[in-house]
Amino acid sequence: MLRTLIGRVVAGCLVVSGLFAAPVGAQSVRLYDTEYVGAVSVARSAGLASTWAEPQRRLVLTDKDTRLELAADSREIELDGLRVFLGEPAVLHRNALFVSRVDRDRFLLPILKPSSGRGAVPALRTIVIDPGHGGKDDGTVNAKLKLREKAMALDVALRLEKLLTAAGYRVVLTRRRDTFVPLPLRPAHAKKVKADLFLSIHFNAIDNKAVAGNETYILTPQYQRSTGSDKRSPDDKVMLTGNATDNWNAILGFRMHGTLVRSLRSFDRGLKRARFAVLRDLDCPGVLIEGGYLSNDAEARKIATPAWRQKLAQSIADGVAGYRAALVEARR
């Protein structure tokens, strides 16, 4: 009885330093045909404290270096100041906030605690750079500024190749010239050269010309919706080759996205998930980088300058260094 009463008082949100103590409870429940676990289980596994920022609405998990904020009924979270998307929305259940088990095990915990990752820690010797589009496929185009995605992506890839080669990596490109490479051949090439990492470089476009910023994509885990999907699909249940490295994809994506947004000081469009063809069949961790919007003239003018493309290449190289640091941490 006393323990129950205490639990109710805590769930009633005692004010502590402007926040509210979070309810206890890490049990597993099935909600909306998805297995959910208490968000406090994420906190416990990662050594974080949990408090309500807004009672029964926004939960914050923190330590001296980390801040993760979850909101009920939202797939969008904030992690160390970055915009990040879960596969399933956080759910309020019996006065506690829950996240899907897949999000906890294959996404949040690997990012928060790389040593929690499944399987052997990957090597990082051979890196494949994939400049998007090429040849008959221009990709996105800014006709006014005469900019084609295929040319910008190749230029960044060649700059990145020099940086990564200087850092001691073996680097392979899926194309070195303005040639068309079918999508299935790109991950196939990565397999052929026994790649440890796959980086696909792209630029965005949208009808709304005001939209700008950077997006970073990793492969959608099995049983989850992609970020752009509001409804479930039969494809969500399919286990893809690339899903074998879900936890390392999460670490790579988060480290890469943080470096890009902070280095480029761009608008944060988010770390997202998609079942892109170049990510589906990889047998190594991979990420697709959207380096900015060619449809936004102000951003396109930056992309048009060699100095900015060099800065983007350096940011990607720094993201690789951040991922490598996470692998070192995972081996401890």
pLDDT, tens digit (0-9, with 9 covering 90-100), for 295-324? 999 999 999 999 999 999 999 999 999 999
Q: What is the pLDDT of residue 9?
A: 35
Q: What is the pLDDT of residue 3?
A: 40
| CATH architecture of the domain covering 10-112 | 2-Layer Sandwich (3.30)
Tokens 């006709």 locate to: 143
Count Cβ atoms below 10 Å from residue 17 Cβ, excluding itself. Answer: 6
Q: Which helix (H) or strand (E) holds 4?
A: helix 2-11
Count Cβ atoms below 10 Å from residue 94 Cβ, excluding itself. Answer: 11
Distance CA 317, CA 324 (A): 11
Count Cβ atoms below 10 Å from residue 184 Cβ, excluding itself. Answer: 12
Model pTM score? 0.92
Domain residue extents for the chain: 10-112, 126-330
Q: What is the pLDDT of residue 27?
A: 81
Tokens 């990145």 locate to: 160
How far, in Å, are 70, 117, 250, 305 from residue 112 at the CA level? 14, 10, 10, 36
Distance CA 294, CA 147 (A): 8
Q: What is the pLDDT of residue 116?
A: 83
pLDDT, tens digit (0-9, with 9 covering 90-100), for 153-188? 999 999 999 999 999 999 999 999 999 999 999 999
Q: What is the pLDDT of residue 332?
A: 86
> Which segments in the chain show pLDDT lower than 70?
1-26, 117
3's CB contacts (< 8 A; 6+ apart) are none
Q: What is the pLDDT of residue 8?
A: 37
Q: Is the domain covering 126-330 a CATH 3.40.630.40 domain? A: yes
